[in-house]
Amino acid sequence: MVELEIVKWVSLVLAVVIISMFDGSYAAFNPVDNYLIACGSSRNVTFQGKLFVPDSQQSSFVLKSQGDTAIVTSNSNSNVPSPIFQSARIFPAITSYKFDIHQQGRHWVRLYFFPLPNSGNDLESAPITVVTDKFVLINNFTFKNYNGSYLFKEYSVNVTSDTLTLSFIPFNNLVSFVNAIEVVSVPDELIPDQALPVSQSAPSHGLSALAFETVYRLNMGGPLITPQNDTLGRIWENDAKYLHVNSSAVNMSVNPATIKYPQSLVPEIAPNWVYATVDTMGDANVANLNFNMTWVLPVDPNYMYFVRVHFCDIVSKAMNSLVFNVYINSDIAFPSLDLSTVTGGLGVPYYKDFTSNTTMDSDTLNVGVGPDTAIDPPNAIMNGLEVLKISNDVRSLDGLSSVEGLLPELASKKHKVWIIVGLVVGCFTAVVFIALCYCCFIARRSKSSPQGHAWLALPLYGNSQTMTKNSTISQKSGTASCISLASSNFGRFFMFQEITDATNKFDESLLLGVGGFGRVYKGTLDDGTNVAVKRGNPRSEQGIAEFRTEIEMLSKLRHRHLVSLIGYCDERSEMILVYEYMANGPLRSHLYGTDLPPLSWKQRLEVCIGAARGLHYLHTGAAQSIIHRDVKTTNILLDENYVAKVADFGLSKTGPALDQTHVSTAVKGSFGYLDPEYFRRQQLTEKSDVYSFGVVLMEVLCTRPALNPVLPREQVNIAEWAMSWQKKGMLDQIMDPILVGKVNQASLKKFGETAENCLAEYGVDRPTMGDVLWNLEYALQLEETSSALTEPDDNSTNHIPGIPLTPIQPFDNSVSMIDGVTSGTDDDGEDAATSAVFSQLVNPRGR
Ligand SMILES: *[C@@H]1O[C@H](CO)[C@@H](O)[C@H](O)[C@H]1NC(C)=O
Ligand SMILES: *[C@@H]1O[C@H](CO)[C@@H](O)[C@H](O)[C@H]1NC(C)=O
Ligand SMILES: *[C@@H]1O[C@H](CO)[C@@H](O)[C@H](O)[C@H]1NC(C)=O
Ligand SMILES: *[C@@H]1O[C@H](CO)[C@@H](O)[C@H](O)[C@H]1NC(C)=O
Ligand SMILES: *[C@@H]1O[C@H](CO)[C@@H](O)[C@H](O)[C@H]1NC(C)=O
Ligand SMILES: *[C@@H]1O[C@H](CO)[C@@H](O)[C@H](O)[C@H]1NC(C)=O
Ligand SMILES: *[C@@H]1O[C@H](CO)[C@@H](O)[C@H](O)[C@H]1NC(C)=O
Ligand SMILES: *[C@@H]1O[C@H](CO)[C@@H](O)[C@H](O)[C@H]1NC(C)=O
Ligand SMILES: *[C@@H]1O[C@H](CO)[C@@H](O)[C@H](O)[C@H]1NC(C)=O
């Protein structure tokens, strides 16, 4: 009893502490590094509520000039636009400011320039070039052909060392200058590493290593927000002048105090003033599909852009009454955004990040919103919009010169020697470090994994008996070293020699397939058993993690409809998996793109039923369900008797624990099969597999790829295309012509309905794998009884003569699939091939 009381008290105290910490984080952001410098000034300057101190008085940064010392100019001229421009520092030679950085991560670098008249130099024509240690910020800018009176630039760079150097580089005997500099810490949450790419070449991740320049920051329907009103000192301007049609928008506002920030969104993302004002559709009741609000932003077409849209539903009276599309250029960047569903309430801020380039034919970036037709009255809103330029391949935000090209002395001989020495030492240290980490990682994983998966109350594939002998041998040979997986129940351990013997030294003629993970070979073991040998590509980064996942998952699962793992080999840092051999290869190769004989309807139903059984077992066979995450026709393999087995568990995740309804995770999987709900909300449930399985069903019926970019737009995505025919009850119009007239109508109808249910927009509306299985079995039964009663009739009613059938164009994705077992994850390849049709595949509404 006493103990219980203590526990109660401790948790109460903890809760109080946590809550107060939480409250604290709502206070204004306090940057660790906060340099505000009035260059060349002799006194402190207050500007926009910030205190700028003279650069001559700072001790925590160093001003280093080559050759002549920098000149200072001060001017009490009243013509300057603001006090911050009353002084400048002028650089006749390359000069650097070096800042001590106390907290690594993103920092604002803000630069202020104004060509002071009568400073003794012609600052109007002074070329301005500024670089950081890694990035070119401005290159050869002059005020000569510039319309504004002053120049303000804001950059965000990720500082990964404990200093930041800003170098000013004057050219051919002209001076350079600057009036004021800010170097200020940015909260880590502000700019993510990932964003949704809208155009093909736009990056989706790796953003943290790039530099950004703010080009637009707009407060829709609201006033100018000055740095005083933004904890991160940003400026948000009114959007009106960028509206394509200015009557298309009407502004609205609420009291900023009513904005409810969710826990997942720190108030630093944008001040409540941004979320409290909004542009809504000017004539919201126009039921014209093309009616939208678009902002047209002139940008430099040679760069990629990071686009952040801010939303907060302050206009609706009820939940789910505002659903709209977000467009970037002519693409649907976010289809059917239902704000109240994603935020769980009204007046709750939400934002989304994209990467994109400019429109095809003009130097503008167009961002727009338009109503979703399904909702009445139609409306769309936007609260804020940020557009940041992303540094290019030479790490420049201005031109094609790199820092190395602009700071030639970096490459001088004296430095070179040190660079080489440094590189050698660095590489050596890195290799040692990586090796150590890897060992620790593996050691920890293999120790903890039996515990971590205690819930898997399933027959273990290989138990210690089968492998003890082999693993002792491997330890004796000494090559398996500390990364050996042998201590846990991971199936049979193969020696590398056995593998090379089985595959005839990885003979290319035995190659079954190639994918992101590596190559798959057919092999024959000593006892004559055929196996499929998947050899990981050591350079594949995702490899190690997926290798582990696959071994862990597969070695603990055994089912007639799951491909069995026989063993593995991790000798000599190889990552090799040995599977049972599936003689008839992937299901997809029996549908299209090959010369293999087509499967009959009954065979197709049996294959689908087999795969459904495998997935049903994954979802329900264990104490905690397993979500496959990459269900597709290349991951369903057929053995010599055409028994379907589900393969490729590299992406699998264990399902939600009992107290959760979903698993939050970064979106992975294959385009064309991706559950739109998972895509939107990044919440993974078993129903995501059900959706992908629905795509498989449609593929089996229509014998065409899930995505086929060469088809007309409305046909590209099979889910959308087949659903539109299924809804009309005319699925037979697009089905495999070979089946026409040879399929029992009731069976086809049942099949179509099952696929339709699987492809339901919302997970809750989709059946479980168990229901799918039941329905498919029923469809098979209908087919079997009918074929027992009547002979198939070529003039059967399910083909209406005179209506042409859709041409089927075999389209092979970039994954080379020769025969036999599918390769590892091929996301990367498919990404490239399919993101051209991004707008279709992110549009989950089949219409
Ligand atoms: C400028 O401000 C700093 C910090 O508030 C202060 O220490 C310093 O004395 C001030 N300098 C001048 C010249 O006013
Ligand atoms: C800078 O631009 C001027 C024209 O504005 C050009 O004449 C000059 O060559 C450029 N300098 C460099 C180093 O690119
Ligand atoms: C500067 O202003 C002139 C006239 O107002 C305009 O024609 C020109 O395009 C402007 N240039 C820039 C770079 O904005
Ligand atoms: C932007 O991306 C699209 C799609 O990848 C490409 O077709 C277009 O040429 C790109 N535009 C520019 C200006 O680079
Ligand atoms: C900055 O870069 C480092 C190293 O690349 C990375 O670990 C860190 O997450 C980045 N920080 C931000 C805020 O992007
Ligand atoms: C909102 O619209 C009204 C007229 O429609 C206009 O007078 C007002 O300036 C606008 N407010 C802002 C902040 O744009
Ligand atoms: C900005 O802050 C000032 C005072 O700091 C306040 O008077 C003003 O109303 C604020 N305006 C906006 C739009 O936030
Ligand atoms: C657009 O707005 C400007 C002022 O911002 C106004 O003069 C003009 O008449 C408006 N045009 C239309 C079509 O409403
Ligand atoms: C937005 O509306 C304009 C006409 O107002 C139309 O030309 C354009 O195609 C629409 N954009 C989208 C993405 O629907």
CA distance 515 to 197: 23
Report how far ligand 6's centroid is from the alpha carbon of 240 (Å). Answer: 9
Does the Cβ of 103 fall within 6 Å of ligand 5? no
Closest ligand to residue 148's CA: 3
| Range in 511-520, 586-595, 656-665, 713-722 the model is least confident about | 656-665
Mutate to test the pocket of ligand 4, among 198, 307, 357, 362 (most ligand atoms within 8 A of CB): 357
State the span(s) of the chain assigned CATH 1.10.510.10. Answer: 588-788
Instruction: Please report the pLDDT score of residue 540 as a whole number.
Output: 56
Give domain 480-580's CATH number out of 3.40.50.300, 3.30.1280.10, 3.30.200.20, 3.40.50.150.
3.30.200.20
Does the Cβ of 392 fall within 6 Å of ligand 4? no
State the span(s) of the chain assigned CATH 2.60.120.430. Answer: 24-186
Instruction: Please report the pLDDT score of residue 435 as a whole number.
Output: 57
pLDDT tier for residue 312 given thresholds of 50, 70 and 90? very high
Closest ligand to residue 141's CA: 2
Does the Cβ of 273 fall within 6 Å of ligand 7? yes
Most confident of 128-142, 394-408, 539-553, 738-752: 128-142
Mutate to test the pocket of ligand 8, among 242, 244, 245, 246 (most ligand atoms within 8 A of CB): 246
The one-letter amino acid at 177: F
Nearest CA to ligand 2 atom 6: 140
| Range in 124-133, 565-574, 665-674 the model is least confident about | 665-674
Report how far ligand 8's centroid is from the alpha carbon of 250 (Å). Answer: 12
Q: What mean pLDDT do residues 509-519 have? A: 75
Does the Cβ of 401 fall within 6 Å of ligand 5? no
* Closest ligand 8 atom number to CA of residue 247: 14
- What's the CATH number for 588-788? 1.10.510.10
Report how far ligand 3's centroid is from the alpha carbon of 296 (Å). Answer: 18
Mutate to test the pocket of ligand 1, among 41, 57, 87 (most ligand atoms within 8 A of CB): 57
Q: What mean pLDDT do residues 349-354 have? A: 94
End-to-end CA distance of the chain: 62
Nearest CA to ligand 2 atom 13: 171
Would the pLDDT of 358 be above 50?
Answer: yes
Does the Cβ of 171 fall within 6 Å of ligand 2? yes
pLDDT tier for residue 650 given thresholds of 50, 70 and 90? low
The pTM of this model reads 0.56
Q: Does the annotation mark 507 as catalytic?
A: no
For residue 549 the two structure tokens come to 């996942």
CA distance 81 to 88: 14
CA distances from 108 to 154, 182, 354 (A): 7, 7, 21
Nearest CA to ligand 2 atom 14: 140
CA distances from 512 to 333, 521, 812, 821 (A): 37, 5, 16, 6
Report how far ligand 2's centroid is from the alpha carbon of 607 (Å). Answer: 67
Instruction: Please report the pLDDT score of residue 152 as a whole number.
Output: 95
CA distance 675 to 668: 10
Instruction: Please report the pLDDT score of residue 508 as a whole number.
Output: 83
Instruction: Please report the pLDDT score of residue 568 as a whole number.
Output: 84
Instruction: Please report the pLDDT score of residue 65 as a whole number.
Output: 65
Place of tokens 């070119």: 136
Does the Cβ of 233 fall within 6 Å of ligand 5? no
pLDDT tens digits for range 359-398: 777 889 999 998 876 667 788 999 999 999 999 999 999 9
- What's the CATH number for 227-390? 2.60.120
Would the pLDDT of 329 be above 80?
Answer: yes
For residue 450 the two structure tokens come to 């039996």
Give domain 24-186's CATH number out of 2.60.120.430, 1.10.645.10, 1.10.1040.10, 3.40.50.10490.
2.60.120.430
Does the Cβ of 785 fall within 6 Å of ligand 2? no
pLDDT tens digits for range 460-501: 222 222 222 233 333 333 333 223 333 345 667 888 888 888
Which backbone phi and psi does 400 adopt, to 5 degrees?
-110, 10
Bridge pairing between strands 349-356 and 196-197: parallel
pLDDT tens digits for range 270-290: 999 999 999 998 765 555 556
Report how far ligand 9's centroid is from the alpha carbon of 401 (Å). Answer: 38
CA distances from 511 to 409, 518, 633, 774 (A): 52, 11, 20, 37
Mutate to test the pocket of ligand 7, among 47, 48, 228 (most ligand atoms within 8 A of CB): 228
The helix (H) or strand (E) run that includes residue 604 is helix 601-620
Does the Cβ of 800 fall within 6 Å of ligand 5? no
Report how far ligand 1's centroid is from the alpha carbon of 109 (Å). Answer: 22
For residue 832 the two structure tokens come to 């490239």
Question: In DSSP terms, which residues pair with 88 in a beta bridge?
Answer: 73
Instruction: Please report the pLDDT score of residue 33 as a whole number.
Output: 92
The one-letter amino acid at 296: V
Please tell me whether 534 is known to bind a ligand.
yes
Would the pLDDT of 353 be above 50?
Answer: yes
| Range in 229-233, 443-447, 507-511 the model is least confident about | 443-447
Do the Cβ atoms of 645 and 637 come closer than 8 Å? yes
Instruction: Please report the pLDDT score of residue 487 as a whole number.
Output: 35
For residue 376 the two structure tokens come to 């009445």
State the span(s) of the chain assigned CATH 3.30.200.20. Answer: 480-580
- Active-site annotation holder among 55, 313, 570, 630: 630
Q: Chain centroid to CA 396: how far?
A: 24
